[in-house]
Chains A and B, each alone.
Chain A
């Protein structure tokens, strides 16, 4: 059974940093593209970043490019999202999701990031 467990969320002041983690199990982690998707309170879904299985390619939404960095450690089955220069509009529930033929086949429960002074 695929399991994705996000952690690292919390309350941070504007301009601050957080690192999210997503620990995966139940599949061969290194062979799958992984994505971070966020959902602001009461709003829709936004894919903020993606990384291929071998970490050779990454992509970012315009809203986070230059501030967020996606990475992975395949030896630890863990996906990361380093978030710097956080803004109020980054407040959201952050999900990690496993790619399935360019769809999002499995999701974690999410970790909440709140940017507030």
Chain B
């Protein structure tokens, strides 16, 4: 199985400042069809997860443009350009290039 490793596991951020979360996979996530099936999810307290980014860099419907995804091969990054109070929660990366689908451990974003 592909292991997904996120850093940091906790990220205190000042409102209005940028934030960045890294995710590394144990194998390349480039699929034979040329796509990279790496996605990012946000889970606010007490809520189910919500899709933010799919195929590494595509924002899902309704996701604010302050969220962006980038990366290549085995190294990926989720960036929030200016953190807002509603961004508090846990962020997960997920790979679906190879089955079984696997998740990172989660990164808790909190406000300083």
Interfacial residues, chain A to chain B (CB-CB below 8 A): 35, 37, 44-47, 50, 59-62, 95, 100-110
Contacts and interface: CB of A to CB of B under 8 A. Distances in A.
Interface of B: 1, 35, 37, 39, 41, 48-51, 54-55, 60, 92, 94, 96-97, 99-106
Given A44-B104, A105-B60, 7 more contacts: A46-B103, A47-B102, A47-B103, A59-B100, A100-B60, A107-B49, A110-B48
* Contact residues of B: prevailing secondary structure: loop
Contacts of A46: 103
A61 B60 CA distance: 26
A72 to B, nearest CB: 17
Contacts of A35: 101
Contacts of B102: 47
Nearest to B90: A44
A2 to B, nearest CB: 11
Nearest to A57: B99
